[in-house]
Chain A
Amino acid sequence: MAHEWAKGHGGVLPSTREEKRQFKELLKSRMIAMDEDNYKEAIDASFKVFAPRGINADLQKIINDSCTEVGSNSSDFWVMMAALKEFIVNEGCGEAPLEGSIPDMTSSTEHYINLQKIYQAKSEADFLVMEQRVENILKKIGRDPNSISKATIKSFCKNARKLKVCRYRLIEDEFNNPSLPELQKYLTDEDYSFAMGFYILLRAVDRYAANFNSFPGQFDGGMDEDISRLKTTAVSLLNDLGCNGLTLTEDLINEMCRFGAAELHSVAAFVGGIASQEVIKLITKQFVPMCGTYIFNGIDHKSQLLTLQVQAANP
């Protein structure tokens, strides 16, 4: 049906709201009875025909990464990435290798399995192209062309649309070389105000403790002085970070002193839960580890993940 439409519309698929509506009407008009499930499914899934072609922005970013200029020291991942880059431009015609599986849909068993086989065949063909390209690249960089297994390449192809690159840096770097644009963006965004406020205050509290040998609000009495000292510390920290003139909410500064470095069990359990989950992901090499600084906000639970570094193209 999509082909039919494209033929009648200069080879282009529906893109405007009106065109999409017309396409759905076209599907509906082909229904013979009101309860044909396969047509109903088609109408519900028609948005897939309208989906933009080509690769998504995340994948595009990785493709543009300088690590795709591979050398003898490059990891298997980047070698396969380089092959993917070539594939997309050539055999893929702008698309990544076909993943191969299809969702369930109302159909006779025979038709469904036939369709499944067609998809699987194309996926296999794409994989063979990728495998060849990987071998060629390995040869070019002076490595054994069979050093990356079939299974690895196949898995890479199957997951091509979900690839991710996570880069991390030392805490020292985060403290000494903050990314100013990121900081300013968060400090001026209302959704991030508490989270960013806590980030600054947590670091200010560390500085305070180093200067005064105690935490703000740790002892009863002298609260006003602690609040004023914490504020000064926070302001000087903001200046050091290059964010002069940006302010923190008074309420947060007061709460921080009120907390007096208290460690509540539930807060510890929450943060411990997140940390342990990340550890498990890293050890089992499954799922995608967190990339950034997660600030837990137990007041209104509007916690945020702050990416305080620009995900640079250079490692």
Chain B
Amino acid sequence: MADSSAPQSRSRDLDKLLLRPGNLVWPTFDPGAELRDDLQQYARVLVVGAGGLGCELLKDLALSGFRNLDVIDMDRIEVTNLNRQFLFRLEDVGKPKAEVAAKRVMERVAGVNIVPHFCRIEDKDIEFYSNFNIIALGLDSIEARSYINAVACSFLEYDSDDNPREETIKPMVDGGTEGFKGHARVIVPGVTPCFECTIWLFPPQVKFPLCTLAETPRTAAHCIEYAHLIKWDEVHSGKAFDPDHPEHMKWVYDEAVKRAELFGILGVTYSLTQGVVKNIIPAIASTNAIISAACALETLKIASGCSKTLSNYLTYNGVEGVHSKVTEFVKDKDCLVCGPGILIELDTSVTLQKFMDMLEENPKLLLSKASITHHGKNLYMQAPPVLEEMTRANLCVPLYELMGRVTKDILHATGTINKDNKKTSGLRKLRIVFKGIDGVTDMDMAGGA
């Protein structure tokens, strides 16, 4: 496809989408050389994870016109990574993934700058994450996703009409794979469901009841987990089990075999032992490539507006033929992480006790026996008795003082919700705004002191 009239540009293909107007684009899409140059100069994307998805994401983003990337990963390279984490070689084993990945992509793509961060995601403060336009996730655990989701959603602010304020929205693109299956989703806090809104999507983790392991094992996995979780401690009390230590693994295997023989159960093999103990999920390069590509494409579209985006959850399954499906999940407006929370206006003189009384009367809440926390700090706890005693003194202190004299902030309240003659326990997100402070005008809403 030689274009003999114009000079060959690295950006030739991308330009078609960034420089030309289109019909199926974002309403804010402003095609032109300025958009392309802005993407290169100013757009900053953070890639969380430099493993199977992370390596692919870095490559895809670098080749999609982004020039300022950061990557964060706390792990070092292992031999078993090499079948799919293609930026790493045998001689890299032992080195930090983030650093090697950054280096390799920068070697191959001229002009891209990637800053590696060899640390845990929790080690960075909120300020760090606020610097990025988009956060792309290549993670392998629910906990990590939950954490980043909470961070991104913490930037979100709502206006007085309970609409998200656009400049506080921090979009995320999240990918995950397991063998031939995978998903890619777009999270726009305040607009699409966040990770917590749809946490019910995850099937419960398989945990064997203790009595099954201890008394009535039936499968090879039961025998293995008995050896791993029960017998190990009995014999090696104090010493931690290390799944990466071949001698430890062999010990568990031998014990599992003994137990299986005792109960007449077949099927204990060394490889099953490893699989059960390490909870190994097989990973293949092709699925990672597919899901990462979808994520990178969405990142480009969100950053530039050059085409409509995925709305909002893509699932992929390559076991039987190829199946992909898009589901549009709906945001949970009561979500504790990305929702606006219930607005409560207060005078600075209102004490914590008075505040809690108000919660009981507020028709939107009907929350009694409340325990209140402020950014994780206990303001008042109903239980256990020792905590109740410790926080009792706060009850007669103005809430304004307890919250450090900020004009507005978020509180979380747990307690008993009395709705429709039913009592259920619940947790509510509360948006507190203090009236009558210099410069802050009263908002015209119900629910004041």
Is residue B63 within 8 Å, beta carbon to beta carbon, of the partner chain?
A: yes
Q: List A contacts of B7 (CB < 8 A).
A: none
Q: How far is the CB of A37 from chain B (nearest CB, A)?
A: 8
Q: Which 7 A-B pairs have the closest CB atoms?
A: A273-B289, A273-B290, A277-B286, A270-B293, A269-B293, A265-B63, A262-B13
Q: Chain A 256-288, CB within 8 Å of chain B: the 1/0 string?
A: 001111111111011011101110100000011
Which single member of A113, A254, A287 contacts B180 (CB below 8 Å)? A287
A258/B22 contact (C-beta < 8 A), A269-B56, A301-B324 known: yes
Report the separation of the CA atoms of residues A258 and B309 in the bound assembly, to the nearest whole angstrom.
17
A274/B297 contact (C-beta < 8 A), A104-B219, A259-B16, A266-B64 known: no
Among residues 23 to 55 in chain B, which have CB atoms less than 8 Å away from a CB atom of chain A? 23-24
Is residue A294 within 8 Å, beta carbon to beta carbon, of the partner chain?
A: yes
Is residue A193 within 8 Å, beta carbon to beta carbon, of the partner chain?
A: no
Contact B287 A263 (CB under 8 A): no
Is residue B263 within 8 Å, beta carbon to beta carbon, of the partner chain?
A: yes
Q: List B contacts of A303 (CB < 8 A).
A: 324
Contact B293 A267 (CB under 8 A): yes
Q: How far is the CB of B78 from chain A (nearest CB, A)?
A: 23
Closest to B311 in A: A300
Q: How far is the CB of B102 from chain A (nearest CB, A)?
A: 18
Q: List A contacts of B17 (CB < 8 A).
A: 258-259, 262, 264
Which single member of B1, B180, B310, B314 contacts A261 (CB below 8 Å)? B1
Report the separation of the CA atoms of residues A217 and B218 in the bound assembly, to the nearest whole angstrom.
65
Which single member of A113, A254, A290, A305 contacts B265 (CB below 8 Å)? A113
A265/B319 contact (C-beta < 8 A), A270-B290, A299-B308 known: no
Contact A263 B13 (CB under 8 A): yes
Q: List A contacts of B311 (CB < 8 A).
A: 300
Which single member of A263, A294, A301 contacts B326 (CB below 8 Å)? A301
Please, how many residues of chain B have a CB less than 8 angstroms from a CB on the other chain? Answer: 56
Report the separation of the CA atoms of residues A104 and B208 in the bound assembly, to the nearest whole angstrom.
11
Q: List B contacts of A263 (CB < 8 A).
A: 13
Chain B residues packing against A (C-beta within 8 Å): 1, 3, 5-6, 12-14, 16-17, 20-24, 56, 60, 63-64, 180, 184, 209, 212, 216-219, 263-265, 284-290, 292-294, 296-297, 300, 307-311, 314, 318-324, 326
Q: List B contacts of A258 (CB < 8 A).
A: 16-17, 20-22
Contact B16 A106 (CB under 8 A): no
Report the separation of the CA atoms of residues A155 and B103 in the bound assembly, to the nearest whole angstrom.
48
Q: List A contacts of B217 (CB < 8 A).
A: 109
Which single member of B23, B264, B294, B324 contacts A255 (CB below 8 Å)? B23
Contact A300 B296 (CB under 8 A): no
Is residue A90 within 8 Å, beta carbon to beta carbon, of the partner chain?
A: no
A-B contact list, 5 entries, CB within 8 Å: A108-B216, A266-B300, A267-B297, A269-B296, A272-B289
Q: Chain A 12-31, CB within 8 Å of chain B: the 1/0 string?
A: 00000000000000000000
Report the separation of the CA atoms of residues A81 and B442 in the bound assembly, to the nearest whole angstrom.
79
Q: List A contacts of B318 (CB < 8 A).
A: 274, 277, 287
Report the separation of the CA atoms of residues A262 and B17 in the bound assembly, to the nearest whole angstrom.
8
Report the separation of the CA atoms of residues A273 and B295 in the bound assembly, to the nearest whole angstrom.
14
Chain A residues packing against B (C-beta within 8 Å): 37, 104-109, 112-113, 164, 215, 217-220, 250-251, 254-255, 258-267, 269-270, 272-274, 276-278, 280, 287-292, 294, 298-303, 305
Contact A262 B216 (CB under 8 A): no
Report the separation of the CA atoms of residues A277 and B5 in the bound assembly, to the nearest whole angstrom.
39
Contact A299 B307 (CB under 8 A): yes
Contact A264 B321 (CB under 8 A): no
Contact B324 A265 (CB under 8 A): no
Q: List B contacts of A267 (CB < 8 A).
A: 293, 297
> Which of B24, B219, B288 has most chain A Cβ within 10 Å?
B24
Q: List B contacts of A109 (CB < 8 A).
A: 216-218, 263-265
Which single member of A255, A276, A294, A302 contacts B22 (CB below 8 Å)? A255
Closest to A278 in B: B322
A217/B293 contact (C-beta < 8 A), A104-B218, A109-B263, A255-B23 known: no
A262/B14 contact (C-beta < 8 A), A251-B23, A276-B289, A287-B319 known: yes
Q: List B contacts of A254 (CB < 8 A).
A: 22-23
Q: List B contacts of A276 (CB < 8 A).
A: 285-286, 289
Closest to B322 in A: A290
Report the separation of the CA atoms of residues A66 and B369 in the bound assembly, to the nearest whole angstrom.
73
Contact A219 B16 (CB under 8 A): no
Contact A298 B297 (CB under 8 A): yes
A264/B64 contact (C-beta < 8 A), A104-B219, A215-B1, A218-B1 known: yes
Q: List B contacts of A294 (CB < 8 A).
A: 322
**Other contacts beyond A266-B63, A280-B284: 13, CB < 8 A:** A107-B218, A109-B264, A218-B3, A259-B17, A260-B16, A262-B16, A265-B296, A270-B294, A272-B289, A273-B293, A274-B290, A274-B318, A277-B318
Q: How far is the CB of B51 from chain A (nearest CB, A)?
A: 16
Q: List A contacts of B264 (CB < 8 A).
A: 109, 113
Q: List B contacts of A259 (CB < 8 A).
A: 16-17
Contact B321 A291 (CB under 8 A): yes
Report the separation of the CA atoms of residues A217 and B64 in the bound assembly, to the nearest whole angstrom.
20
Report the separation of the CA atoms of residues A292 and B320 in the bound assembly, to the nearest whole angstrom.
12
